[in-house]
Chain A
Amino acid sequence: MNTQLRGTSLREDDIRTGKALVTEWHPKIDYQFDAGTAVGQFLDGLKAGKIMGRQCDVCGRIVIPPRMFCEKCFRRNDRWVELKHTGRINTFSVSFVNWDASRRTTPQVPAVIDIDGTNPSMGILHLLGEVGQTLEEVLRRVRIGMAVEAVWKPAEQREGAITDIMYFRPVGG
């Protein structure tokens, strides 16, 4: 194996000081996504303060996020089912990093929350709130398997978005 591999390493400074030639491009990349039937009605449900799932009569599953077809049975599924506003934490994280890799002083606490009423128990991604402002606090307060409940925006502020639920908090405060 050739131990002299090619490649010229640059440092961040080389770019900042213009030692390396750089061209910039700021794209205007916007999309308007068609929510379609399943997600469209799910979002309508959120606006009305409801968490909706879909049921397939062949396998019996009640799924969230909802889809108009059962991907296991490969058939159109059968009905909307209103789910509970509570669930259990499947897993969670305590994040001190923003999407652009910059640091946060207070954490975001994303979690997969298994929603009560789904069958078999299955989850959605959301955030936990009212669980602490430091890593230690959050790790003291939150447990995998813990019961949580949705905290909603007031009805007049809801838009039909996943953020109509602000976060989930431990049941019992």
Chain B
Amino acid sequence: MAGKVAIVGAGYTSLRAVSPEASFRELVFEAATRAYQEAGITPADIDSVVALGEDYREGTCICDEYVPDQLGAVQKPVHTVTGDGVQGVGMAWMLLQSGVADIVVLEGHSKASNIRHPAHVEAMALDPTYVRPHGWNPLFVAGLEMRRFLHDSGVTARQAAQVAVKNKRNALANPLAAYPAEVTVEQVLNSQPLAEPLTELAVAPPADGAFVFVLANAAGRKKCRGRPVYVEAVTWISETCNLPTRDWGRAVYTERAAARAYEMAGLKNPAEELDFVEVDDAYTYKELQHLEALGLTARGQSGQMLERGTFDLGGQLPVNPSGGSLGCGHLHDASALRALWEAVCQLRGEAGRRQVPKARRGLVCSWRGVPTATGGVAILSRR
């Protein structure tokens, strides 16, 4: 089963805080044009499309209506997933393995800048009976989780802040990134407090942009050119987003997804067998929490390993060479597609100054953000 599905085309737009000159349709058209050109296909070759979309982030009810045109996918089997990029890869993977499609397009975008009061939208995701009436900014969920994670793991606030330093610096080498910067741990810790212990620079700021991928199975690849990057494993897990009953310290969804993904890819010692990882860093502490859940660090060691430089671009296991969401901008569910794009670049040897030498296998770990406990793991390789 593993390794039969490959990414043969990857298209993008640059990511930025605002994008007034382009509608979301125009952004997606740009990304799709790049992806199809790279894959050597025309829309006639597309068998099915998977798009990511959430109504309240699009500002449109039944947002799946507006998917096909800018992808050239009118009157094709197109559907929307209210899920993140890894779930999107999962749907594409299953379509390609089921016999109903040989070439599948995956699309996701963000027009976060068009949401005037993001906290109000995200507050709508909180339980209407038990949580919303408090009227708190939903960031409090991440604040509570961070407090518990620091307590359980022994990771310090300084170490968490270091994640922002590393990722924003990595983003300096990423031409796509919206928020590249040189910052210090002090700057991160002293930036505006939000939901303590979270401060402003510890939270990935939103950005606009679009990504389109072309995936194919063995039969589909015969119609494509472009260097394939193989999807060795893709999994996704949801834990309850119910606040009272969740595990606050651990990313249980990542633990479960990773276990299944490693099994699918036949990995016995992932820390050795992976050359880089892109893990969700919507908040600084999430990078470390996800790394521990992926089993890439000994329990409670992620902070020290970060300080030692293990996860730096030149380190033993580069984490978020792209700059992550902290450096590139947060695209909500499409953030995982930005991570996927980085994985493809790395595995093709096209990552420029960010290139991880001899990158053969990488992992993408996603999270759908507050208040969810949903995320996925994808393992990609070049063969």
Contact residues of A with B, CB < 8 Å? Answer: 23, 25, 27-39, 67-69, 71-72, 74
Contact = CB atoms under 8 A, between A and B. Distances in A.
B32 to A, nearest CB: 8
B42 A74 contact: yes
Nearest to B111: A34
B23 A39 contact: yes
A29 B124 contact: yes
Nearest to B29: A69
Contacts of A30: 116-117
A120 to B, nearest CB: 15
Nearest to B117: A28
B218 interface: no
A37 B255 CA distance: 44
Given A28-B117, A31-B114, A72-B74, A37 B42 contact: no
Contact of A23 (B19, B23, B129): B129
Contact of A25 (B29, B72, B74, B132): B132
15 contacts: A25-B132, A27-B123, A27-B124, A28-B120, A29-B59, A29-B124, A31-B116, A33-B111, A33-B114, A36-B21, A36-B23, A38-B26, A71-B69, A74-B33, A74-B43
Contact of A71 (B24, B68, B114): B68
B115 A31 contact: yes
B140 interface: no
Contact of A33 (B59, B70, B121): B59
Nearest to B18: A34
B22 A34 contact: yes
Size category of the B interface is: 35 or more
Contacts of A68: 26, 29
Interface of B: 19-26, 29, 32-33, 36, 42-43, 56, 59, 68-70, 72, 74, 111, 113-117, 120-121, 123-124, 128-129, 132-133
A94 B329 CA distance: 48
B25 A67 contact: yes
B358 to A, nearest CB: 37
Contacts of B114: 31-34
B22 A37 contact: yes
Contact of A29 (B19, B24, B33, B56): B56
Contacts of B117: 28-30
Given A25-B132, A30-B116, A34-B114, 13 more contacts: A27-B120, A27-B123, A31-B116, A34-B21, A34-B24, A34-B113, A35-B23, A36-B22, A36-B25, A38-B25, A39-B23, A69-B70, A71-B68
A106 B290 CA distance: 60
Contacts of A38: 23, 25-26
Given A71-B68, A71-B72, A74-B72, A29 B111 contact: no
